[in-house]
A and B are shown apart, each in its own frame.
Chain A
């Protein structure tokens, strides 16, 4: 059963990922991204990370990708990008080599490593009937416990994001607009 879920989910993710890379139209690319996100969300669930699965769907699919689509529409850059031609001749073969090499190296690392983590099996308490929010509590404990400082820092990060967009997207004075 696990296997089936994994295979299907990873298929979703991979197909989506490939889609992002190969779909000519940005909008389609964004849609493929959504597919991947869902696939990963499924795997999260399979791994007992229900909260993250939810956040994944909400934040990513719900917010980020939508944001992408907004921008695409706003700028009207939804016309297809011509992927048939590649000005940098070396780029694609090189990219292929790099991609394959990385897969190889990372897989190699994962498979050759005799680190304890590779052997240890299932672990975290997944939600049960008596405590449906176990996973949530654990995350909460971690975030507000060990990682409380990191949590604080995220506030600064968001502040940066806000101010940054203000600086970047603010309309320029009139005479500038003329240009």
Chain B
């Protein structure tokens, strides 16, 4: 209990957390074959960034960090829309296409 009272999570804790999340996202992009899931992993990375932004904003006592997160959310939304659009249009042709099947263009 005393421990809990004493130890305060410092900025770096949050940052490390976001770093870990970011890394997990990266790994996800590399290992998953379903475009949708790869895409989710990218979202994951964006969220990790958001976490850092907010943390920095707090540490700097500066609200711009938070407003930036707001813009990131918008971007994420837009990206999702377009991305899913592309995925839909391609999966219309052949359902259950895994990312590895999309390798006509190479060499």
Contact = CB atoms under 8 A, between A and B. Distances in A.
Interface of A: 1-4, 6, 10, 13-14, 17-18, 20-21, 26, 29-30, 33, 36-37, 40, 43-44, 47-49, 51-52, 55-56, 59-60, 63-64, 67-68, 71-72, 74-77, 79, 81, 83, 86-88, 91-92, 94-96, 98-100, 102-103, 106-107, 110-111, 117-118, 120-124, 135, 138-139, 141-143, 146-147, 150-151, 154, 157-158, 160-162, 164-165, 168-169
B13 A6 contact: yes
Contact of A6 (B9, B54, B70): B9
Given A21-B24, A55-B73, A143-B70, A164 B61 contact: no
Given A59-B73, A124-B58, A143-B67, A160 B82 contact: yes
B77 to A, nearest CB: 6
Contact of A120 (B28, B61, B98): B61
Given A92-B31, A98-B27, A106-B19, 16 more contacts: A6-B13, A40-B51, A44-B54, A47-B14, A68-B80, A68-B84, A71-B84, A74-B88, A91-B30, A103-B23, A107-B19, A118-B11, A157-B78, A161-B82, A165-B81, A169-B85
A79 to B, nearest CB: 7
B70 A40 contact: no
A83 B23 CA distance: 19
Interface in B1-20: 3-5, 7-17, 19-20
Contacts of B27: 21, 95-96, 98-99
Contacts of A63: 77
Contact of A165 (B23, B61, B85): B85
Contact of A95 (B10, B30, B70): B30
Contacts of A29: 37, 40
A36 B47 contact: yes
Contacts of B74: 154, 157-158
A159 B94 CA distance: 28
Interface of B: 3-5, 7-17, 19-28, 30-34, 36-37, 39-41, 43-44, 47, 50-51, 54-64, 66-71, 73-78, 80-82, 84-89, 91-92, 95-96, 98, 100
The main secondary structure of chain B at its interface with chain A is helix
A131 to B, nearest CB: 14
Given A77-B95, A142-B63, A14 B20 contact: yes
A2 B14 CA distance: 12
B50 A158 contact: no
A165 B82 CA distance: 6
